[in-house]
Chains A and B, each alone.
Chain A
Amino acid sequence: MNPRIITLFDLSLIIARHLAGEMTDEEREQLNAWLAESAHHRELLERVRDERLTREKLLAYERADVEEALARFLAEKRKRSMRRRLTRYAGVAALPVIAAAWWLSSRPVAEAPAVDEPLLPRLASSITLTAPGGKYIELPAALPPEQRIGADLVLKQEAGMARIVPVTGDREEYRTISVPRGGEFRIMLGDGTKVWVNAETKFSFPLEFAGGERRVMLEGEAYFEVARDSGRAFAVETPLATVTVRGTSFNLSSDARRARTVATLVEGAVDFTVRETGEQVPMRAGEQVVLTGEGWDKREVEPSLYTSWREGWLNFSSERLEEMLEVIARWYNAEVLFVNEAAKDMLYTGQVRKYEDFREVLNIISLTRSARFSVDNRTIIVH
């Protein structure tokens, strides 16, 4: 195994666990590999194993006056923000510095993965609209200002969103939008509700809402900005749950393969109802409900992380490398091959630009020295 796939920070955890007296076999192997690298490493481990040093360090933690240091810092901070307000008033702007760039530039650049041709996402073949009988039409790649689609519908564009308006026929009839991998579709429903439909998603909606309720169906992921209508609730059904709202913005994703439904509330209030048990979970802004085979869990999150796919990002939050690459690979129509099995379980958090050359993505990951990649045709090999 290549020990370089372990970061310094991974290693510190392994050593801490070693001191506490428990390591997994894999960790022991990683530690041994690192020890074999240099005499310095062996000396370092000897040193941290020294009980006297442990005693001194722990004592230092106990004695350090963090409160005092923090108070000193905050006093200085307040003084400065006061000064800055004054400066801004005088019309002098401070130059922003991108922190992420500093730390990247301050370390040696990792070996670039051997990729010769750009690896770009293969974008959608086409987005389709299916009628109840199973008849479907392909929607044009670029939204026209106005265009007749099929016998009884008109496709319009309004504020960058598609509108599908019935000309004749049953206005309450449902239609299903199917967005393939690499695609994305924005639609405004009959009531003015805006829906961002993500890739690999099916979304069903009535051409016009009628009656006392607004009800749509979702398999996949979408972001909703629900138009206010105090008289009628808006309900989104996924295979495993229903989210009911009045006027609010939220992101809902249901992943059939993993039997996982995730609702993230950006603003307003919704009820999340578990189909199987009938349990109703009220949600407030900033909350997320995750429903899996083991039940549901509610937690507080930073919603933007879960909704920024709309702005062209692929997001990952403590995702295992295997699952993360699976998502990325689906997007880029690539295959993944793990030569190094241990790398599968490494956790990643971050965002990737969706339309970039995949090389760049791999480059960024290799910068961490936590994994190395090579690409052969459209297969990503993880070393």
Chain B
Amino acid sequence: MSENQDILLKQLEKDDERAYARLYALFFVPLLLFSRKYVNDEEVAKDVVQEVFIAMLGRKKEFYNMAALKEYLYNSARNACLNHLRHEKVKGRFESRAAREGEEEERFQERVLEEEVYARLAAAIERLPGQYRAVIRYTLEGHKISEIARKMNISLDTAKEYKKAGKKRLIIALRPSGDLFLLLATL
């Protein structure tokens, strides 16, 4: 899979549209959810994410790997959010910068981590075949297997079967080596 990443990073260096399409598919939602935590507004968050990608255009981009790229994206999104909030500060909605600093870094990391968890989960689920996908989603959302069978209009045994097989596939999809997201430590 890492060859795909290499190709993606090369395309990105050249501002190839295919690279951005891929970046949107992979990171638009996690970055959106991440930014929404800072700015508390869906539309503003959308603008922030767009701003992050626009800022990459025409600049030299040399990412060693996907982890470096992600690190950059989340950092940029945070900066864009904080900039936005700084403007809001005039309206008295933003706490003083000095009080924030140390805590901010920790909160940032936790927010990245949280979004990354779901980004991986969502991407792995996305790759499951239809029926498995539905059963796994419902299961992760806390539904009982009998409810799931009823919702999907299938027998309890079939639902159990799907759950078992789907879980197996999900776990495989989440294996470091099988994961397109596989994040390599940076060199």
Interface residues, chain A, with chain B CB atoms under 8 Å away: 7-13, 15-17, 19-22, 40, 44, 47-48, 51-52, 54-55, 57-58, 60-61, 64, 66, 69-70, 72-74, 76-77, 80-81, 84, 94, 96-100, 102-103, 106-108, 299-302, 304-305, 316-318, 321, 346-352, 364-365, 367-368, 370-371
Contact = CB atoms under 8 A, between A and B. Distances in A.
B152 interface: no
Nearest to B65: A349
Interface size class of B (residues with CB under 8 A): 35 or more
Contacts of B119: 12
Contact of B20 (A70, A301, A347): A70
A61 B142 contact: no
B176 A54 contact: no
Interface of B: 1-3, 5-7, 10, 15, 17, 20-21, 24-25, 28-29, 32-33, 46, 49-50, 53-54, 56-65, 67-68, 70-72, 75, 79, 105-106, 109-110, 112-114, 116-122, 124-126, 137, 140-142, 167, 170-171, 174, 176, 179, 181-187
A107 B104 CA distance: 12
A20 B140 CA distance: 8
Contacts of B61: 99
Given A73-B24, A302-B7, A106 B187 contact: no
B141 A349 contact: no
A48 B117 CA distance: 8
Contact of A317 (B2, B28, B109, B174): B2
Contacts of B56: 99
B174 to A, nearest CB: 5
Given A69-B28, A106-B75, A348-B184, A15 B117 contact: yes
A318 B10 contact: no
Contacts of B15: 77, 81
Given A13-B174, A97-B60, A370-B186, A317 B141 contact: no
A299 B3 contact: yes
A231 to B, nearest CB: 36
Contacts of A94: 58-59
Contacts of A346: 184-185
Given A21-B171, A76-B54, A16 B10 contact: no
Given A58-B122, A60-B29, A347 B114 contact: no
B1 to A, nearest CB: 8
Contact of A103 (B20, B71, B117): B71
Nearest to B103: A40
A349 B184 contact: yes
A54 B68 contact: no
